[in-house]
Chain A
């Protein structure tokens, strides 16, 4: 089939070349024949006319001098040209002067000359030519020549025919060689194409021999093979992929079937309520667990009827939750009240709904659960109520306490204040009595009077301390930077100068500066240091140490002495008002000082505590928070 086509292509090419060449030769030959005929006629006539002219000129003298033999001799030269069939010279009168016919020919000579001219007549060229010399007509030359157009053309056409035959033969030989050059390339392509068809081997390539259009065809063919190969490969791999995917899908489908069966069994077996709805939230399938919980028959919960099972007050909560979940395509859960058929009341449940969102964003289905959280809800509710009650009770108690505190303070203040007037009267009159009547009393009376006076003085001190303490509750704190080292030093100097008894050893480290109310802080140190002096006074060598430790958030100042100490069981009581661990006969004091210290330190945001044991000395600590004073913040 292919070979047949190939040979037909070759023969077509050959026919094209041959026909083209033949047509070209035919046209060229025909044109040349026509041209030749024309030329032959023209040149024949023109030659003959020229010959007549020459003959005329040559025989002019002969005519002039009536020399017939001479004219005959001229005419006889025409023998050299066999084509001449007749020739004649006529004189000026038009009479035949001399004539010529080749031997063996019997051509008739015209009796009279005709006008000047050339023409073709009966297969002959005929020329009449006047002989003119020196403006005189001497006679006429007549020439007749055989006009062998057809013989001439026949010879010419024979040559053209021979040339055509030779050319066509050459063309056949040449074209078969050239065709070989063309068809070799095509054969290569066809061969490769056959192999590709038979073996489906797209790696084969046709060999490129030439750089012409067929060479380009080879390139294109090869490219096409490459492309087909690649495509085939792609298709095959896609097929394999598809097969794999189909297989996987089958597996997934069977797994899905299993899962679905398991799910439906699970739902049926579960005591919890599981429900499903369509994309718009309508119940479209039988919901056995829903029905069991709410007591709604199927006709009631169908479509949106299921919502009627919820408490009226929760309807809008459900609606808004559902709407926002639909818009956001996300799951939601709400605690709502739903009718519980068995208990005959609404119970709190956790309603949970999950949308199944398709790839196009559409919600195809909702799946949800109801979980009974009523018991927990009830417990939480009790707890909430209890807490609220407790809080309100605490608040009430606190305000009661605050009011009592206030009342107490104002009472204390007013008592202290009001007590001073009668006390002053007592002490003043006691003094008057002592001053004016002392010698009138006996010793016993004077002793008792002395007691009245000293107790009156003590009471005045007590009242002053109480006033100071209660005033502290009202006073605002003016914080400044305080050089604690310097403050402690001055306080100790002042106190020790008034102190009676052995001179104590006093050790003080460098103390960190504090940011506090200087006056109040001075009172703290006065209290601590006077206590230390007081309780260590009975030692042979009293030792008082003051120091400080600074940690990240606060300065911890301390005062330590080697005095009487205290029973550590009662250290919590140390800082109460009028709390005394020693009798005032042992150690003087009102019992207000440490309460005052406690109040001052607490108001500065610090803490105060004491360590010690009986006869083992005491150590008092107080802290002040580290405040950044550089930028003035408080």
Chain B
């Protein structure tokens, strides 16, 4: 356990350094890197507040597969941060999804900024299956994403669409709703 803690702490520390305004640096490169790490940490933490329907997993110990599209840096960060971690007995597995690849077995799909234009395609691919769709582009929620990262005063925030979660038969912990920047209950 201890090594997991240590690693997690390092991730959190990084995230903290990244987001603390006091220590924020105007350097965009640095800010960008930090933003990626922070989002990776958030993706992992989101999974802890989401409840999938039982048919989302093949078995109670089946891995929770996080598919990353168009955000390799985040995929890297997440990979490093969640190595050996599990959410509700589901070990976390990070997959980089290439355009055109199947997303049949995944439970979380992160669509990066670079794939924002093809979002609808990914949403169609999800097709109301119990998949948590996370995006980082404007109007993503309107298109059908469940959680969408925003940046506010240089801080990473997020909004949630309950309608989208409902559609994909996901239940979101109200505590998560409590820290969301905005929660959309209808389309």
Contacts and interface: CB of A to CB of B under 8 A. Distances in A.
Nearest to A70: B179
Interface residues of A, number: 18
Contacts of A67: 179
Q: Which of B4, B5, B12, B179 has the most CB of A within 10 A?
A: B179
Contacts of A91: 12, 16
Interface stretch (B41-49, B72-80, B99-107, B130-138): B41-49
A91 B41 CA distance: 15
Given A61-B176, A92-B9, A136-B8, A66 B48 contact: no
Contacts of A95: 16
Contact of A65 (B1, B9, B13, B45): B45
| Of A58, A66, A135, most B-chain CB atoms within 10 Å | A66
A384 interface: no
Contact of A93 (B5, B12, B175): B12
A66 B1 contact: no
A59 B155 CA distance: 19
Interface in B1-32: 1, 4-5, 8-9, 12-13, 15-16, 19
Contact of B179 (A61, A92, A93, A133): A61
Contacts of B45: 64-65
A32 interface: no
B49 A66 contact: no
Given A61-B176, A133-B48, A66 B5 contact: no
Nearest to B9: A92
Contacts of A61: 49, 173, 175-176, 178-179
Interface string B21-65: 000000000000000001000100100110000000000000000
A423 B78 CA distance: 215
B24 to A, nearest CB: 13
A482 to B, nearest CB: 164
Nearest to A71: B179
B136 to A, nearest CB: 15
A137 interface: yes
B144 to A, nearest CB: 23
Given A91-B16, A136-B5, A65 B42 contact: yes
Interface string B103-143: 00000000000000000000000000000000000000000
A122 interface: no
Contact of A135 (B1, B13, B19, B178): B1
A65 B16 contact: no
A60 B175 contact: yes
A186 to B, nearest CB: 79
A135 B179 CA distance: 20
A62 interface: yes
17 contacts: A60-B175, A61-B49, A61-B173, A61-B175, A61-B178, A65-B158, A65-B179, A66-B15, A67-B179, A92-B9, A92-B16, A93-B13, A93-B16, A95-B16, A135-B1, A135-B5, A136-B12
A59 to B, nearest CB: 10
Interface string B77-98: 0000000000100000000000
Contacts of A93: 12-13, 16
A66 B178 contact: no
B19 A66 contact: yes
A476 interface: no
A134 interface: yes
B48 A134 contact: yes
A62 B87 CA distance: 19
**Size class of the B contact interface (CB-based, 8 Å):** 20 to 34
Contacts of A134: 48, 87
- Point out which of B5, B13, B45 has the most chain A C-beta atoms below 10 A from its C-beta: B45
State the 3 A-B residue pairs at the shortest beta-carbon distance, nearest first: A67-B179, A61-B175, A65-B179
Contacts of A64: 45, 179
A62 B179 contact: yes
Contacts of A60: 175
A43 B173 CA distance: 32
Interface string B140-182: 0000000000000001101000000000000001011011000
Nearest to B22: A95
A89 to B, nearest CB: 13
Nearest to B47: A134
A58 B179 CA distance: 11
Contacts of B19: 66
Interface string A65-94: 111001000000000000000000001110
Given A61-B178, A92-B16, A93-B12, 6 more contacts: A65-B179, A66-B15, A66-B155, A91-B12, A93-B16, A136-B12
B16 A66 contact: yes
A64 B180 CA distance: 12
Contacts of B155: 66
Contacts of A133: 48
B80 to A, nearest CB: 16
Contacts of A65: 42, 45, 158, 176, 179
A60 B174 CA distance: 12
A64 B45 CA distance: 7
A95 B22 CA distance: 12
A67 B180 CA distance: 9
A66 B153 CA distance: 13
A137 B12 CA distance: 10
A92 B12 contact: yes
Interface in A48-65: 58, 60-62, 64-65
B91 to A, nearest CB: 14
Nearest to A135: B1
B135 to A, nearest CB: 17
Contacts of B158: 65
Nearest to B45: A64
Contact of A137 (B5, B87, B173, B179): B5
A60 B19 CA distance: 17
Interface in A125-145: 133-137
Nearest to B41: A64
Q: Which one of A60, A65, A135 has the highest number of Cβ atoms from chain B below 10 Å of its Cβ?
A: A65
A18 to B, nearest CB: 62
A136 B1 CA distance: 10
Contacts of A137: 5, 9
A422 B79 CA distance: 215
B73 to A, nearest CB: 20
Contacts of B156: 66
Contact of A70 (B1, B8, B13, B178): B178
Contacts of B5: 135-137
A193 to B, nearest CB: 89
B145 to A, nearest CB: 18
A166 B179 CA distance: 57
Contacts of A136: 5, 8, 12
A31 B5 CA distance: 48
A67 B175 CA distance: 12
Contacts of B8: 136
A135 B3 CA distance: 12
A92 B9 CA distance: 7
